[in-house]
Every structure is written in structure tokens, then in C-alpha cells.
Structure 1
Amino acid sequence: MTVPGSFTATGTAGTAQAALSWTASSGAASYKVQRSTSSSGSFADLSGTLTGLTYTDTTAAGGTTYYYRVVATNTAGSTTSNTVSVTPTSAVTVPGSFTVTGTAGTSQASLSWTASSGAASYKVQRSTSGSSGFADLSGSLTALTYTDTTAVGDTTYYYRVVSTNAAGSATSNTVSVTPASPSTGEGTATGLAVQYRPNDTDAANSAAAPQFIITNSGTSAVGMSTLKVRYYFTKDNSTAFNFFCDWAQIGSDNVQAQFVSMTTPTATADTYLELTFKSGAGSIAAGGNSGQIQTRFSKTDWTNFSESNDYSFSTASTSFVNNSKVTLYVNGTLAWGNEPS
């Protein structure tokens, strides 16, 4: 009898394990798998006596590189295979526990949370009941903060955050936040609000397309000609702008616009689009609204905007929702929203 013939081993990485296989060694009576953490180091027996041509190392630690070889044996002696290296992946566990806190603003709620260990992303959920009815509010987030600008003043909301990775998810505690209502200079709530949606959610193309609805939950009609709407953005360069009113329920011809450079610019706003309305626009009845006002603007050279950091721009909802970062004025007095500061 002669010693076993030459043969070849291969290895495949798994999650905290390594799967090994080898070709048959002619004349071999049995096999034994050996392992080392160095390609030239000391190999130690890992398995008992084997007669099959496969073995799975379930004792491997994820992220560690191991070196394996197989020894074929018979009564005449032994033959050792080639050496293969395998680096198993680490086992993924569900994200760890974490805590969220909330702060009320004017028609908005600012949320922040601690990091959830192992989390790949987060999603904010909101409900008007503390125990049920939670719906996704944000898209997938990697930051640890989020501001809900769609909140209605004097309404109590309940928020929670869900952290997610490939293994599953973990849910934070629930916090309640009651945003304040915007007010006029005299501090009396007007019942007016501006709803907004982006007709185009691409933040890096040649046109911005904000659309608005002005709502009146007050007890008196409000003349459109007394109102001004301001949408804040960064102009990115010194190019002038073109304005288009694509459609308005009150009549596109009754919508007027100008672009105003802010005297005190901020990191997210140096210019605003100001909409005013002719007398032909009529009034907004108590409990009514203006209907849609579909606007669009571009640079005269048609270069791209960078809207992702613009104060009033939001992709939180593609339906009309209250946006306190779009301001509304009645006879020049702030009646809705928060100016950038």
C-alpha cells in the first residue's frame, strides 16, 4: 500500500463559519481538517476522523481570517492538501435599543435620537394616538435628527423611530410633541396656513416647481389681494430667474411674482419667491381654500439648481401638507410660518 494521493481543498466563507470541500485522495482511508490563524503558523486538528469530502467549521469568528488544510491518511502514511484561506463574515444582529426626544416649534416638531448599535438606517413614524395608527413620516435616514415641518399647530403628535438593518429592526420609545400655532404680530391666530408640495422632487435639475394651497380655517373670508406668499431658496449663482404659473384655480393671470434677495441671508436661504394676487383672484371663504397654485421657476441660463439645502424645499410628502417654512403675510404682517434665521 502507498500513501494517499495528492488532492485539492477549497473553502467558502459564510456567516461566522467556513465551508470546506476537497477532492478525493486516492487510497485515503480517512481525512482530518486542520486550522491555523497564520498561513505559516502552527496547524491544529479541528475535526475528528472524517470519511466524507466536506466539513463546515462552525466555530469560526466573523471577520477573522483562517487557514485550513486537510490531511488524508491510510496505514501507509498521510498526505496534506494545499492551504486555503477563508474569512467568515460577522453575524448580523438586530439593531440595539435607543432613545428619541422631541421639541415643539411653531408648526413643527424637532426630533433627535441616540444611535442604535448596528443600525443601517432609521425611519420616523407619527400618529395622533399614542398607542396605534403609526405611519411612516420620513424616508430612509442615516442622520440622528429629523424635523417634521408638516405638523399643525396646537395638535398633539406622537413620534417614534424605527432602526433597521439586514437582520431586522428595533423601535424607540414614543414621544409626544404639541407644536405651537403661528400668529400675527398681535399674537392672534389667523386660521390661515400654506400647504405645499414639490411637483418635481429632483433637487438637482434646471427648474424648481413648488405648488401651494392657501387654507382658511378662520371665521371670516380673506381677500387674496391682501396676501403674500414667500418661498425661500438659495440662488447658487448670480443668474436672474424666469417665473411660470403653470395653472391656478384662481386664474394664472391673477398670480404675480417677484424674486427678492434677502438682506440677511442664511445658509439655506438668500432669495425668496414672493407671490401676490390681483383683485380678480377673489377671496378665500371661511373654511375654504385658494385651490392649487402651480408655480415653476428656472434660471435664465437654465443651469441646474441645488435645492437639497433650500429652506422651503421638502420631499417629505408629495401630497399637499402644511409647510411652516413657506411664509404667508396678511397686509404685510406675518400670519403663517417661520422666516429663516
Structure 2
Amino acid sequence: MINKSKKASLLLAATILGTTAGSFLVAPSAHAAIESNVVKNDINWDMPSAPAAPSDVNARAGSEQVVLTWAPIDNAKSYDVRRYNVVNNTYDSVKANETTVLTTGVTDAVYMDTSVTNGQIYGYVVNAVYGDGQVSQMSMPVIATPMELSGNVKDSIVLQYKSGTTAGTNSSVIQPTFNIMNTSGTPVNLSDIRVRYYFNGGKELTAKNFSAGNISFGSRNIEPNFVSLEKTYKQADSYLELLFNAEAGIIRAGDETGPMTFTIQKNQSGTSQDNDYSYNNSSELTEWNKVAVYYQGDLVWGTEPDLNN
């Protein structure tokens, strides 16, 4: 019987992840074949009487490794981990695909897969096994792309910007378009990137004041956060921070996201964007350093406003 608590398992995972770099759950942009002993899925997905699947399954990719963690299940004897061919990150895709049993008899809620190749996209599911032989349903799938880390990534992210609204116009609408470029030789996880656009009139805005246009990797994979600055400054009282979830995928080496257009609907009208810190009246995509880009928490492109003035 597994008697390790969730805290203990998470501590074990943290120990492993301490030697691991990367980000959670990178979504595929293409089919990735897995060369190993493929077996048919031998678990009945549609058996409601089967015990519940492990929850909170996460995958963290590093260089030539993927670390999986999940919430421990009381009374489970062990866990099985399966890897599958990535088509899309949906439950049905795993049902329709063949899966590879990587390992059985895992007694902690953590597993490291070191049989991976950098740049390939891997999917994983986990199930629990009980002492009486009962097998749980499979977990929801998670996906990850291991990749070699490069020190020059932080020097190789570039943001282009244009505005969809006219300078000097008193409007309640802000409409920036961004294009994030990866000029390095290493793929970049979008989930490691955050973008901040500084402006006035953003206090008390919520996600309902935000919308996204047609984006190549899906607008549902972008999370907007409006943050009010503690003090109101001449060029900004707030910023919009854009976060990308795992399914946004990667920016391949030498590639770009493509144009991403966003609309901010302010609660007040009659204000000009001319004095907004991040605003530029360019109607063509151009490099613009007053939109800040962060990679793994570090500022790697642009400048923040001087909030002391």
C-alpha cells in the first residue's frame, strides 16, 4: 500500500525537478512518432465502475527528460505510466491511439522518463492499481517537449507591435497586435513567456474587458490579467499581462508566433492613448521596446516604465 502523503510525493518531485529545467506541458504543432514497443490500450475507458483516475497530473520537460507528477491516491498499491503518439491534447486522442507502457509498479506519485529525445513531443497518461487488482481509469493526458536549454534564448526574443487604433483618438478601445519572434537556435515554450502592455484607464478591468482575434494556436490558450499599479503614474495606472498556457505550444527556432491581435475595452471613454506608455501609432508591425516581455520571470525584451516619475 502506498503510505506516502501528497506532501511527501511533491517533495520528492521537487528534488527531481531541482535538476530539471523547462516548463509545463508543451502542446504539439505537429504529429510526433514514438519509436518503442507499442501496445494496445488495455484499459476500458468507458467503465464507470472503475475507480477514478489520478488527478493533477503534470509534466515538466527538461533536456532529454520529462518529469511526471500527480496527486497520490489513498489505498493505491502502485501506478502505471503510458506514453502515446501525440495528435492533440484531448482525452479522445488517447482512446484512439496506441500507447506504450513505459513502466508499472511506480510507488511514488512521480516518475522521470529519460527515454526521450529533445525536440520530440510526448504525451502521457497515468492509472492507479489497487491491492485487489482493480485498475483505475486513465488520467487526462498531458504533453511535454524536452529540449536542450540554451543560454542565448534570453537574448533572442524579439517583440513586434502595431496599433489598430489611431493616435489622438478619444476612445475606450485599445487594440494592440503583437508578434513574438524567437531568433535563437532553440525552441521556446510559450508558457515561459509573459507580455506586459502598460496603459491608463485599466483600473477595475477584468477578463470580460479583453478579447483576442484569430490566433494561430488558439485564443483559448491565452490568459489575460489586468494589474492595477499601486500608484497612478503619468503614462500608466495599469498593465495588461498576457500569459500563455501549455497548449499554446512552442516557438520553434528561428520562427515566430505570427500576429496576435487583442482588444481592451475600457470602462471609460474620452481618453487618448497618446500618453499611454506602451502605445505607438505604427500601423505596421515593427520592433517596439515599450512592451515588456519576460522569459522564465526575467525581463528579456523592452523596458518597464519609470514608475518613480
Instruction: Give the TM-score of the pair, scaled to structure 2.
Output: 0.46
Higher Rg = 1
Q: More strand per residue: 1 or 2?
A: 1
Instruction: Give the TM-score of the pair, scaled to structure 1.
Output: 0.42
Where relative contact order (Cα < 8 A, 6+ residues apart) is larger, the structure is 2
Q: More helix per residue: 1 or 2?
A: 2
